[in-house]
Amino acid sequence: VALPAGVLTQEVNRVLEDPAIEIVVELVGGTTVAKEFILRALRAGKAVVTANKALLAKFGGELFAAAEKGGADLYYEASVGGGIPIIKALREGLAANRFHAIIGILNGTCNYILTRMEQEGAPFAEVLKAAQAAGYAEANPALDVDGIDTAHKATILASLAFGEWFRLEQMHVEGIREVALQDIQYAATLGYRIKLLAIIREAGGQVQLRVHPALIPARSLLGTVDGVFNAVLVNGEPVGTTLYYGRGAGRDATASAVVADILDVGRNLAGGSRRRIPAFRHHRAFQDVLPASEIRSRYYLRFQVQDRPGVLALIAGVFGQHSISIASVTQKEAAAPSVPIVILTHEAREADMQAALAELRGFEEVTEKPVLLRIEELP
Amino acid sequence: VALPAGVLTQEVNRVLEDPAIEIVVELVGGTTVAKEFILRALRAGKAVVTANKALLAKFGGELFAAAEKGGADLYYEASVGGGIPIIKALREGLAANRFHAIIGILNGTCNYILTRMEQEGAPFAEVLKAAQAAGYAEANPALDVDGIDTAHKATILASLAFGEWFRLEQMHVEGIREVALQDIQYAATLGYRIKLLAIIREAGGQVQLRVHPALIPARSLLGTVDGVFNAVLVNGEPVGTTLYYGRGAGRDATASAVVADILDVGRNLAGGSRRRIPAFRHHRAFQDVLPASEIRSRYYLRFQVQDRPGVLALIAGVFGQHSISIASVTQKEAAAPSVPIVILTHEAREADMQAALAELRGFEEVTEKPVLLRIEELP
């Protein structure tokens, strides 16, 4: 594409103050100048296309209000799932549905690290280092590996699904730094894979909002998603379970989503149908956000225990007192003084599980902090 | 929903001739009265929403011309992939892309039958009978098991991707009646699963349009799609590989897609932006349809041969003369006078493969018609 002279500029005011410019695409990132640029554009009635998930997650309410006041479009397909048209699917393709569950692998860096840990039998720190060298992880990986980026995206998906712009603080967020190679390997022998999931569920009017590593069946579609790819499972009524998969980041995937948004906005401008789809529509389809302590789930637990009689009985006894029922136990013969025991439980309440683990940590038979991972049942 | 008296009618003219009715939803099916109803509605300027893949595949050109002339919308999300918003993804979400490959499991009945054959170790005829009893297959299953329904849907996807309304006769179509349990089992031991695929590919301006059973890796996403579910893999530039999964049929999934279309049409009517997205846009992004004989593919072959020295050398020799290179051979010890040999080849030209097989059938050492299945490389 040959651009006429003078079209490219580094002076943002030449864009924001030019009445002939109708669409502003923000790919600056961050939550400071990007926010200012978007607000100024919307107030001037310009349509905005953005990929800025952090900004939307933090200041969505403010941006949507400005878009409404300015009578302007605000599109953000590239903010979640890279090139996967998941925002369009939720807002348009599945518009007839009530959503029950959205479960997503939304961060390519984390999925790449977990995939390589399994494939190479290498620990987290080593794989992270290699990922940084290869450009798949940032020098400061906190946003990715601590689950924050996933939580930003989950906030957007949950908000679209349930009609209330959620705050990041309403999410229960855990990252993947604590995921041990040992647990990836135990999970594999049990038919599971460990993925960092965004889990958004609704049942009985109560919404669950959480981001954490979880075991899912290796033979499930989500369990088959490897490397930097993203996937989003959406369960709705009447459509049932659907799934959307693609590259979650990178300039090509992002470009695909950004250009699709520009075309949508362009059609709106050309057809005189601005704000055909509002940037966000409040329609609160739930009552409460369920506290993390009340969430019910199956659990994977790994205890490091003294190799002597009665230890399993001790654990089972404490579990029983806390209404936790054991589904399976794996304990291998070992020559060491301390051995691992892997336990899968039936569904239990998070608060009960945490209380049981706190109690068990008081026993000298349990030699290390127990490992807790949740097993996510996929709809 | 409580409808006012007189709203429900069985007299189609009361709908088609009422100027107050702006949207007509056709869920009659078939290609006779459905065609007439849709044409009359479009000519009267009414928007039409339909799920009728057979009608679109056969008379798409005529219907689109009528929609254009009538200035009317024609939406058909439910015609492919049930509740999966794949038409919207191709036309809107991925609008920035050039498409290189679309590979889909588009018929739930066939996928259900193949899945059950593998899971139960039962032959085609037995599983078909059970599927008919359970309501998963029609009394006359030809449309499904002979690949016609998949071909109808593939015609629609290919046309949207490449901007030319293709005719069914341009497709190479094979169904699943010939898929033997034995081959499903051999494929499984080799790490593959057999699926009925719609394969739409473009390379060097030439388009491939085919529907046939094919081996795909068991650990791929498409290979994980079981039962009545559908999935469509879309490879485009710049987005790369994306995939869309969901229930391919049934009233709930269809309702989800039909209502989404009604909402889209409703927004167009309310916003004064009729035909915001044309029913079909001609933009021919290819030169030719590649004849089936010119398609290059890897092959799975099963020969039933006399158990005596030199037979493998005979087959390998004929293959060599036809530029076909063998990748792997599986022959188990057997006490029978005739034994199966399973051969996977490297990429070869279909015409060469057919010539080699014709030649081999002339030898008395080859006791039965060889089984040929293609191995599809997924992007």
DSSP A83: T
Q: Are A187 and A193 in contact (CB under 8 A)?
A: yes
Query: Which residue in A69, A153, A195, A332 is the catalytic one?
Result: A153
Helical H segments across chain A, by residue range: 12-16, 33-43, 53-70, 86-88, 108-120, 124-133, 142-145, 148-162, 181-189, 251-270, 311-321, 350-360
Helical H segments across A6-107, by residue range: 12-16, 33-43, 53-70, 86-88
Query: Which of A238, A260, A273 lies closest to B92 in CB terms?
Result: A260
Distance CA B161, CA B233 (A): 13
pLDDT digits (tens, 9 = 90+) for A40-79: 999 999 999 999 999 999 999 999 999 999 999 999 999 9
pLDDT band for position A198 (50/70/90)? very high
Distance CA A267, CA A258 (A): 14
Q: Between the CA of residue B11 and those of A140, B18, B37, what are the distances in Å? A: 68, 11, 12
- Residue carrying the six token digits 């107030």: A43
What is the predicted pLDDT for the residue at B61? 94
* Nearest residue in B to A262, CA atom: B96
Closest CA to A85 of B73, B232, B48, B261: B232
- ipTM for this model: 0.96
What is the predicted pLDDT for the residue at B334? 77
Q: Are A217 and A377 in contact (CB under 8 A)?
A: no
pLDDT exceeds cutoff 90 at A267: yes
pLDDT digits (tens, 9 = 90+) for B97-153: 999 999 999 999 999 999 999 999 999 999 999 999 988 899 999 999 999 999 999
**Chain B residues whose beta carbon lies within 8 Å of the beta carbon of residue A246:** 239-243
Q: Are B276 and B269 in contact (CB under 8 A)?
A: no
Active-site residue B153, yes or no?
yes
A221 touches chain B (CB under 8 A): yes
Three-state SS letters, A104-126: EECCHHHHHHHHHHHHHCCCHHH
DSSP B223: G
Helix-strand-coil percent breakdown of chain B, rounded to 5?
40, 25, 35
What is the predicted pLDDT for the residue at B333? 79
* Nearest residue in B to A97, CA atom: B256
Distance CA A277, CA B93 (A): 14
pLDDT digits (tens, 9 = 90+) for B242-251: 999 999 989 9
Distance CA B120, CA B134 (A): 16
Write the burial class of residue B299 (CB in 10 Å: 0-12 exposed, 13-18 middle, 19+ buried): buried
Q: Are A252 and B240 in contact (CB under 8 A)?
A: yes
Query: Which of B83, B97, B267 lies closest to A242 in CB terms?
Result: B83
Distance CA B224, CA B102 (A): 17
Helix (H, G, I), strand (E, B) or coil at B292: helix
Quick one: which H or E segment has residue B240? strand B240-247
pLDDT exceeds cutoff 90 at A333: no
pLDDT band for position A289 (50/70/90)? very high
Q: Do B244 and A241 touch (CB under 8 A)?
A: no
**Chain A residues whose beta carbon lies within 8 Å of the beta carbon of residue B261:** none
Helix (H, G, I), strand (E, B) or coil at A195: strand
On average, the pLDDT of chain A sits at 96
Distance CA A302, CA B253 (A): 41
How much is the average pLDDT of B222-230? 97
What is the predicted pLDDT for the residue at A336? 84
